[in-house]
Amino acid sequence: MNLQKRFETVAVVGEPNVGKSTLVNALVGQKVSIISPKAQTTRYNLLGLFVEGDTQIALTDTPGIFAPRERLGRAMVNAVRTAMHNAARVLWVIDASHPRISRSIDLLQKIPNVQAAIVFNKIDRVAKPKLLELAYYLNEQYPFEATFMVSALKQDGIQKIKHFLAESAPSGEWLYPEDQVTNLPLRLFAAELTRERLYKRLHQEIPYACIVETEQWEDFTFKNETRIVQNIYIQKDSQRPILLGKGGEQIHEIRASVQKELSAVMERKVHLFLYVKVHENWPEDKAFYDLWGLRYNV
């Protein structure tokens, strides 16, 4: 029996560190977006895809909504607005244990005719009566289509969201191959994995002062190996010893961890080389914005 295909675009939005990327990874069924305990890990819009029955859903993982002061922050928040305008539906993610809603709902209310559902994440960390009270209040503020209670990290409640999105999607041809899970090129994915490790290992302002670029990529098909060279840019030379660690131990551990994950993902041996360089003004370098698909002048 031939089923009628369905397709839907969905923007996953919310304030910083609420678990948007974890939710996207859970819905897709594998890692497509990096995660860390620190806010503002996601810097640009990233596509995650999954198929549920006859429906293909294109999720856009977005940066957190905050009050930006600098160019990069403005570009990140603009990316959220763009994703919400371009999507047919919005999943608004809220950290149930620390609900921050003011900026998100203000932005949601400014976009006309958007279909939206609430996703309360990390529900295992909050008492049920408090959660229900907040859900009732928010549904009084906006005509949400549905409310979901999940723990994305534990995969609890994920299937209900997938079913809802599949059932709500309109008829339409799929825009991507059935086995595609993201639009992120491998070179950029590799750089993101290294940045994820930096966020997890470094503290305070150092992760936000770093950016990773994949400079070289060589595939050796006959040996089933790949050689990757990445530059980690920092803004001050004084940050170099913090990143390297005593005797270079920290950067070595980061390299080994990323190399191992890339080898597993690519199903081939990966040789990763990391170089730390100073680029004081990289947040003003337009080349990075072009690479990430961010608007430079906003």
Please give the share of the chain, as a percent, with pLDDT higher than 90: 85
Residue pLDDT, tens place only, 158-170: 999 999 999 999 9
Other Cβ atoms within 10 Å of 60 Cβ, number: 25
Band of the pLDDT at 36, cuts 50, 70, 90?
confident
pLDDT at residue 284 greater than cutoff 80: yes
pLDDT at residue 1 greater than cutoff 50: no
pLDDT at residue 2 greater than cutoff 70: no
Domain 6-168, what fold?
Rossmann fold (3.40.50)
Q: Which residues make Cβ contacts (< 8 Å) with residue 120, sequence separation at least 6?
A: 94, 96, 131, 134, 135, 147, 148, 149, 150
The highest-level CATH class for domain 186-292 is: alpha beta
Band of the pLDDT at 45, cuts 50, 70, 90?
very high
pLDDT at residue 38 greater than cutoff 90: no
With tokens 């497509």, the residue in question is 32
Average pLDDT, the chain: 94
- Tokens representing residue 283 in the block: 């947040």
Q: What distance in Å separates the CA atoms of residue 122 and residue 124, rounded to the nearest whole number?
A: 5
Residues of the chain with CATH 3.40.50.300: 6-168
Residues of the chain with CATH 3.30.300.20: 186-292
Answer yes or no: are the C-beta atoms of 182 and 46 closer than 8 Å. Answer: yes
